[in-house]
Amino acid sequence: MSSPYWNPRDPYQGGPPQSGGWSYGGPPPAQQPPPPTPPMPPVRYAEFGIRLVARTIDAVLAFIAAFTFFVVLVLFTELATGGGSPTDAEGALWGSLFLFGWGLLLFFYDWLYLITWGRTLGKMMVGIKVVDATDHGRLSQGQAIGRSMLFCLPQSLPCLGHLFSLGESMAMFGDERGRALHDRVAGTIVIRTR
């Protein structure tokens, strides 16, 4: 005797499978294999000359921003103090900031652009981008900070820091992917986007 709720055609109650369905407890329908991953497009690495042009553009833009900030801050200080002459300590502070703050300014400029867009304004203008060396994806926070620290912070020391940054950038000539020392340490490469 059958139950009033039993339906012999219901596949979940042991009946034959309906069209397109499958019997409970039986093998599931065959799964389609995932589509093959497309091969990565060929990568064109950025050469030293194009990277130097991008860095020069960035340095000019950072200098304009720093100079504008410096002038506005001096004018604001003059207005706030009533136009009195600065003390020796204030003069030394402004001079030290102007001389030794360059590397810190470049660090923040480089790091914020790299973590946001993967490239600075100079790199955007010349068509290059900084990507992860293994999968050509976005940079992690650690990669952006490490790369910016190694290239920019030494430039806080006038002349010596600039020579160090130039020397470590020249290390790209000994690498088949054109990686400077800051790229090797951070695990990044610089590629052309156009």
Give residue-wise pLDDT tens across range 17-59.
555 555 556 666 677 888 887 776 788 999 999 999 999 999 9
Q: How many domains does the chain have?
A: 1
Which pLDDT belongs to residue 142? Answer: 95
Beta-carbon contacts of 87 under 8 Å, excluding residues fewer than 6 positions away, are: none
Which pLDDT belongs to residue 122? Answer: 96
**Residue 65: CA atoms inside 13 Å, Cβ hemisphere, count?**
13
Residue given tokens 């001389």 in the structure block? 99
Which pLDDT belongs to residue 30? Answer: 73
Which pLDDT belongs to residue 8? Answer: 62
For residue 126, being part of any structural domain is answered with: yes
Which pLDDT belongs to residue 93? Answer: 77
For residue 23, being part of any structural domain is answered with: no
For residue 8, being part of any structural domain is answered with: no
pLDDT beneath 70: ranges in the chain: 1-29, 40, 83-86
How far is C-alpha 18 from the geometric centre of its chain's CA atoms? 54
- Alpha helix positions (H), the chain: 48-81, 88-100, 102-117, 121-126, 141-152, 160-170, 181-186
For residue 148, being part of any structural domain is answered with: yes
| Domain of 162, in residue numbers | 48-192
Residue pair 183/189 in contact (Cβ under 8 Å)? The answer is yes
For residue 64, being part of any structural domain is answered with: yes
For residue 100, being part of any structural domain is answered with: yes
Which pLDDT belongs to residue 94? Answer: 74
